[in-house]
Amino acid sequence: MHQSSLNFIFCVRCNGPLELDVFSCSDEIKEGFLLCKKCDILYPIVSGVAILWNDFVSYLSRRKKLGGQLFNEAKNSKLKSHIKKTLSEVEKNVEDQTLIEKRWATIYQNNSKSKFYSKIKSILNQIESDVSLEHGCSIGTISEHMAKTSNQVFGIDKSFFAIKTAKEKKLSNADFFVADSLLHPFANQKFGLILALNLLEIIEPIDLIKTISSQMQKGYLIISDPYDFDRGKNSVKHTVNEKELRDELKKYSFSISSDTKKESFIPWNLQIAKRTELKYLVDVVLAKKL
């Protein structure tokens, strides 16, 4: 985590200020705690990655293997004992997401040259912004491009492995955190550019749009999705289609750019194994708040 990021991040529970306790630091903070005195909560920083999750016990309950790995990676004794104590409190019989999230971080690394990303980059080349945010940024492929035309970029994702990979890009004006888009760490910070690519199946669309709208007074939003909503018990409650997405954005005073008023079908191919490829056709919307 960059020390300067402390000016932008707050407690995800109360939006109050965070204090920083650094255990290990080189060009960036490698190990430490961010603490909210009001909530009496510690957010750990392990291997350079700040985990700004509302409840670390529930985060590690779904990622027990990751918990073991964080314990091994941590060198400071206070950090180690915090992870150990958290692991002793995790819920049993919860499915472990560690290997799934690790696998997807590798898949995104192997597919960073898709046509879909070229399309997003070509839109981004025309947009300048001071402070920008990418929700569900995964390994930071697009955040890295945003950092060319923004002064400061933040990317958040719930996957530790994705964020760790994003941080390996070592970008001086971009920082990445493990965080939930709907319980984000930016309090009242406003952004001039926000991206939310291919998240609507995973994060409640109506809630995500409301959150994004509250994070922007004036600026640009790029939102895309293949509307692949049928995910059994993991499906979101309120789906949106091409029209409903645009209508929802208009409710929050976004105007839709003329060339994305009509739905699009941008190919997004993900080679997920030697003989398996996912082929999505993605609808991209560029929306503006004036």
Of 159, 213, 215, 260, the one binding ligand SAM (CB under 6 A) is 159
Of 31, 144, 157, 225, the one binding ligand SAM (CB under 6 A) is 157
CB of 57 to Zn ion, least distance (A): 16
Alpha carbons 154 and 2: distance in angstroms, whole number? 11
Among Zn ion, ligand SAM, none, what does residue 159 contact (CB within 5–8 Å per kind)?
A: ligand SAM
Question: Given the complex with ligand SAM, which of 76 and 224 has the nearer CB atom?
Answer: 224
201, 136 in Cβ contact below 8 A? no
Question: Given the complex with Zn ion, which of 40 and 230 has the nearer CB atom?
Answer: 40
Binding of ligand SAM at residue 162 (CB under 6 A)? yes
Question: Given the complex with ligand SAM, which of 30 and 135 has the nearer CB atom?
Answer: 135
Part of the chain binding ligand SAM (CB under 6 A), chosen from 64-72, 92-100, 154-162, 250-258: 154-162
285, 224 in Cβ contact below 8 A? yes
Binding of ligand SAM at residue 199 (CB under 6 A)? yes
**Of all residues in this chain, which one has the CB nearest to ligand SAM in the complex?**
136
Among Zn ion, ligand SAM, none, what does residue 14 contact (CB within 5–8 Å per kind)?
A: Zn ion
Residue 207 in tokens = 């809630």
> Amino acid identity of 227?
Y
Alpha carbons 125 and 136: distance in angstroms, whole number? 20
On the CB side of 100, CA atoms within 13 Å amount to: 7
Question: Given the complex with ligand SAM, which of 173 and 198 has the nearer CB atom?
Answer: 198
CA distance to 6, 52, 68, 84, 264, per residue, from 74 (Å):
21, 17, 10, 11, 46
> Amino acid identity of 27?
D
Among Zn ion, ligand SAM, none, what does residue 36 contact (CB within 5–8 Å per kind)?
A: Zn ion
Of 158, 164, 167, 246, the one binding ligand SAM (CB under 6 A) is 158
Binding string, 99-138, against ligand SAM, x = CB under 6 A? -------------------------------------x-x
Residue with tokens 């939102």: 223
192, 132 in Cβ contact below 8 A? yes
Alpha carbons 147 and 277: distance in angstroms, whole number? 30
Part of the chain binding ligand SAM (CB under 6 A), chosen from 37-45, 63-71, 78-86, 191-199: 191-199
Among ligand SAM, Zn ion, none, what does residue 148 contact (CB within 5–8 Å per kind)?
A: none
CB of 28 to Zn ion, least distance (A): 24
> How many residues line the site for ligand SAM (CB under 6 A)?
15
> Treating both helix axes as pointing N-terminal to C-terminal, what angle do 242-251 and 205-214 enclose, rounded to 10 degrees?
30
Long-range contacts of 36-44 (CB under 8 A, 24+ apart): 36/11, 38/11, 38/14, 39/11, 39/13, 39/14, 41/11, 41/13, 42/82, 43/12, 43/18, 44/70, 44/74, 44/79, 44/82, 44/83
Q: Which residues bind ligand SAM (CB under 6 A)?
A: 136, 138, 156-159, 162, 180-182, 197-199, 202-203
